[in-house]
């Protein structure tokens, strides 16, 4: 049996392409437009008072779960459309993947004040705050789901693609019977991670200060933030208890049934010895109401949709290739020209804003980038050391998964920002305490991206391949080199990319902390962004944000994209 630990030669790609340049210019233009709108925002904004009475927690929890649900469904629709378009059309891929690369690297906490102030200048305050909160939660959920779905579509085994072509499946049937089922396991685990990431940013989404403007929304995130600011330990515990109860309910009534249902889509020729089970799914399958719903509503609706789409693609001939080349229509070309013109105009104005940044501030940005890069690297290395063995253990052992899965979801969903002040006070007495605290917060906020992807990859390893390695009596090290690491590589790299981007984002709240009337700051680009946000220094905010985005994109191009193509081309299950 061949080992897959060699590194084949891959074609070189430029670190930054023309498309990347246009996208970065577009980000600069959007930041400039948002900053101009921010100048028109109300001078003083005061959100509603947040009660710390535990009897208000059920209503706050309902509001927060509602925002999370809206953001999640927007993320799911975005991921399916975006990932499918990038995987199935080469022309679209050339634009969409660099764009996704940039978008997941944009620190949303630096973008949020511009978005929030811009929306409040043109929309009612309450609606603007709600919309901004949903946008922030959406950006914490969407990118890892999109990367996961795209990775699944690009690693579908060749024989399955050929079978879809032989049966002449139209795009809808191909998506319904092959692509979505094949991607289901990774999409589900990344959905759980997206919810965990949403809880992490919930406190920032529901209560946000920009100078004298105090934007806040009633919810469990704002409840915990106010409790932490006031040092009310009882209220903090009530909030954490409510959050844990919500997570456990979601695990029992949503995620565990979905994982048990999706197990049938795993690529394998033999059934697993211990397939996942869920009592709620079993209860639903025996429910008379649920059976009537499927027979009277779901099945006819599904058949009607299949028939309508079948008639539309009656003469469709399914290609064997996984992606097709597309041409831009006249309308698309005109739209592209208009967008480029708008980008160039906004870029010129943004450059004028950047020219006002003094040279000393640019030196601070450079030093901050180096410091933050060192912290991100340490955090990612520590994450790899413990998430890979634990994720494989959970993904390949159903009994262990039944015990640890809800525990992992609970721990991953507890907002690290709620615990960070306590950790900060404990570590400030240690030499280099704030640096250690910043790395710790990055770990608490981003390690779960990698862990959940590793669990998804281990769960997707076919049972027959496990039996084969057992029959060959491979040693533990050979089993890892021959089977586990090659099978994990697409999921591992997807998780590492999103974890790295999340660590850069988390630097904004990790390197600049305000607690108990005191401000704790360390050198880093995240600290510069946070300081520029609090003081309303938009030129510095624009400069630091663009510097961070360019750095992350260069890292992705020079390092992660090479590993991603290696996983896509060499470590596909065939």
Which pLDDT does position 342 carry in this prediction?
66
Which pLDDT does position 78 carry in this prediction?
93
The residue count of the chain comes to 574
What CATH number is attached to the domain comprising 464?
Answer: 1.10.3720.10
Q: For the chain, what is the domain count?
A: 1
Q: CA 144, CA 502: separation in Å to the nearest integer?
A: 10
Residue 95, token pair as written in the block:
């634009």
Q: CA 179, CA 346: separation in Å to the nearest integer?
A: 39
- The answer to whether position 201 is within a domain reads yes
Angular region, 516: left φ>0, alpha ψ -120 to 50, beta rest: left
Q: Is 327 helix (H, G, I), strand (E, B) or coil?
A: coil
Which residues partner with 513 through β-bridges? 520
Residue 320, token pair as written in the block:
């064997």
Residue 213, token pair as written in the block:
């403007």
Specify the DSSP class assigned to residue 560: I
Which pLDDT does position 421 carry in this prediction?
61
- The answer to whether position 219 is within a domain reads yes
Domain that holds residue 444: 18-277+337-570
Which pLDDT does position 304 carry in this prediction?
80
- The answer to whether position 555 is within a domain reads yes
CA atoms within 13 A on the CB side of 533: 28
- The answer to whether position 301 is within a domain reads no
Residue 171, token pair as written in the block:
């795009």
Residue 389, token pair as written in the block:
């063995």
- The answer to whether position 332 is within a domain reads no
Neighbours of 432 (CB within 10 A): 11
Residue 166, token pair as written in the block:
């032989």
- The answer to whether position 321 is within a domain reads no
Local confidence pLDDT in tens for the 574 residues of the chain: 434 433 333 334 455 565 566 666 666 666 666 666 555 555 555 667 788 888 899 999 999 999 999 999 999 999 999 999 888 887 777 777 777 777 776 666 666 666 666 666 667 777 777 887 888 888 878 888 898 898 888 888 888 888 888 887 888 888 888 889 988 888 888 888 788 778 777 777 787 666 566 677 888 888 887 887 777 778 888 888 888 888 888 888 888 888 888 888 877 665 666 677 788 888 888 888 888 888 888 888 888 887 777 777 766 655 544 444 445 456 556 666 666 676 676 677 777 777 888 888 889 989 999 999 999 899 899 999 998 998 888 888 877 877 777 777 677 766 666 666 666 667 767 666 677 878 887 887 678 888 888 888 888 787 778 888 888 888 888 888 888 888 888 888 888 887 887 788 778 777 877 665 667 778 888 888 888 877 777 788 888 888 888 888 788 778 877 787 777 677 666 6
- The answer to whether position 197 is within a domain reads yes
Which pLDDT does position 455 carry in this prediction?
86
Q: Dmax over Cα atoms in the chain, in whole Å?
A: 72
- The answer to whether position 432 is within a domain reads yes
3-state helix, strand, coil split of the chain in percent (to 5) is 75, 5, 20
Residue 178, token pair as written in the block:
């092959």
Contacts of 419 (CB under 8 A, 6+ apart): 444
């Amino acid at each position: 049996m061949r080992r897959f630990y060699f590194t084949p030669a891959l074609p070189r790609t430029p670190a930054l392409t023309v498309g990347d340049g246009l996208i970065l210019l577009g980000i600069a233009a959007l930041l400039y437009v948002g900053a101009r709108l921010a100048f028109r925002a109300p001078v003083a904004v005061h959100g509603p008072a947040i009660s710390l009475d535990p009897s208000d927690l059920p209503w706050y929890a309902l509001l927060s779960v509602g925002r999370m649900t809206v953001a999640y469904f927007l993320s799911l629709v975005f991921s399916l459309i975006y990932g499918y378009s990038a995987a199935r059309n080469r022309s679209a891929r050339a634009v969409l993947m660099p764009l996704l690369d940039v978008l997941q690297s944009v620190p949303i906490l630096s973008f949020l004040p511009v978005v929030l102030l811009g929306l409040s200048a043109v929309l009612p305050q309450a609606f603007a705050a709600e919309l901004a909160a949903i946008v922030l939660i959406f950006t914490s959920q969407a990118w890892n789901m999109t990367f996961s779905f795209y990775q699944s579509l690009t690693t579908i085994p060749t024989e399955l693609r050929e079978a879809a072509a032989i049966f002449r499946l139209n795009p809808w049937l191909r998506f319904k019977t092959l692509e979505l089922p094949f991607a289901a396991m990774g999409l589900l685990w990344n959905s759980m991670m997206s919810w965990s990431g949403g809880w992490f940013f919930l406190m920032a989404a529901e209560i946000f200060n920009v100078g004298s403007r105090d934007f806040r929304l009633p919810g469990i995130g704002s409840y915990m933030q106010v409790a932490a600011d006031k040092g009310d330990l009882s209220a903090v515990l009530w909030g954490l208890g409510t959050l844990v109860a919500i997570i456990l309910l979601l695990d029992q009534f949503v995620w565990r049934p979905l994982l048990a249902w999706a197990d049938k889509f795993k690529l394998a020729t033999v059934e697993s010895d211990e397939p996942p089970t869920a009592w709620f799914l079993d209860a639903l399958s025996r429910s008379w109401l649920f059976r009537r719903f499927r027979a009277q509503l779901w099945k006819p609706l599904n058949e009607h949709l299949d028939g309508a789409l079948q008639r539309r693609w009656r003469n469709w001939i399914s290609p064997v290739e996984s992606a097709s080349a597309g041409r831009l229509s006249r309308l698309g070309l005109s739209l592209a020209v208009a967008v480029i013109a708008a980008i160039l105009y906004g870029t010129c104005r943004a450059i004028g804003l950047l020219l006002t940044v003094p040279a000393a501030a640019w030196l601070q940005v450079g030093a901050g980038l180096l410091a933050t890069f060192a912290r991100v690297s340490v955090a990612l290395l520590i994450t790899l050391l413990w998430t890979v063995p634990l994720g494989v253990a959970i993904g390949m052992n159903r009994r262990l998964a039944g015990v640890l899965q809800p525990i992992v979801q609970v721990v991953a969903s507890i907002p690290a920002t709620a615990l960070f002040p306590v950790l900060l006070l404990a570590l400030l007495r240690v030499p280099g305490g704030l640096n250690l605290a910043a790395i710790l917060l990055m770990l608490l906020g981003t390690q779960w991206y990698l862990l959940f992807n590793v669990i998804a990859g281990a769960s997707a390893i076919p049972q027959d391949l496990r039996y084969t390695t057992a029959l060959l009596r491979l040693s533990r090290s050979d089993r890892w080199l021959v089977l586990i690491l090659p099978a994990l590589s697409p999921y591992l790299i997807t998780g590492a990319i999103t974890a790295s981007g999340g660590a850069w984002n988390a630097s904004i709240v990790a390197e600049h902390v305000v607690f108990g009337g005191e401000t704790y700051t360390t050198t880093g680009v995240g600290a510069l962004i946070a300081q520029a946000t609090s003081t309303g220094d938009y030129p510095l905010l624009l400069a630091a944000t663009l510097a961070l985005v360019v750095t992350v994109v260069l890292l992705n191009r020079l390092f992660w994209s090479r590993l991603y193509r290696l996983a896509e081309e060499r470590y596909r299950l065939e």
